[in-house]
Amino acid sequence: MNQATQTQQAVLSPQQTVRELDRLVENLSEQYTLMLSSLEDHDAAIRHADTVAMASCVAKENEAVQAIAELDRRRAHIVSLYKKSNGLDANNSGDEPLSITMIARRIGGDSGGALARRAAELKQLIQIVRARSAALHSAAELLGDHTAGIMRQVVQMLNHAQVYSRGGSVTSGPAVTTALDITS
């Protein structure tokens, strides 16, 4: 690869930037929509105590998270190319990091405005997913605590030999002395 080709690949025109970011926002929206759907399924699985469905949902959520992480690496690369193309330094002249919305506003025009609107819609979707995920996390913690409490009560009720501590763990109970007469 010659130096002219390397330089060309390291610079994006405003149209290329909008096109790349638009595709990125679309892909992120798809992944966050899949994540939201999986979180809703996960919530239903918890309500029905369906462990098989819960495991399936966790796997789907993990796939979405991995895809989102990859897309975020792509976003960072596009932002880096945009900075190089526009003579911005790595620190963005002390300002906050460049977001997709900020880049769209800098590019302006109809395409920049449309990208800014799609980016705002993506932000709303991300907020919904975060809220739903936090609620699901709380529900799972409460369910786990509830189940642990039930198990402690069952163990305590069945602890006739007194080998379980109050916390439900096995401890050494009282010494039991037994004898068997086998002489007769």
Report the number of distinct structural domains present in the chain.
Answer: 1
Average pLDDT, the chain: 82
In a domain, 22, yes or no: yes
Query: Is a pLDDT exceeding 90 seen at residue 139?
Result: no
Q: Sort 139 into a burial class: Cβ within 10 Å, 0-12 / 13-18 / 19+.
A: middle
In a domain, 164, yes or no: no
Query: Is a pLDDT exceeding 70 seen at residue 44?
Result: yes
In a domain, 177, yes or no: no
| pLDDT per residue as tens digits for the range 1-42 | 444 433 345 677 888 889 999 999 999 999 999 999 999 999
In a domain, 103, yes or no: yes
Angstrom distance (rounded) from CA 28 to CA 93:
28
Q: pTM for this structure?
A: 0.71
Residue 32: domain span: 3-136
In a domain, 151, yes or no: no
In a domain, 125, yes or no: yes
In a domain, 42, yes or no: yes
| pLDDT per residue as tens digits for the range 50-79 | 889 999 999 999 999 999 999 999 999 998
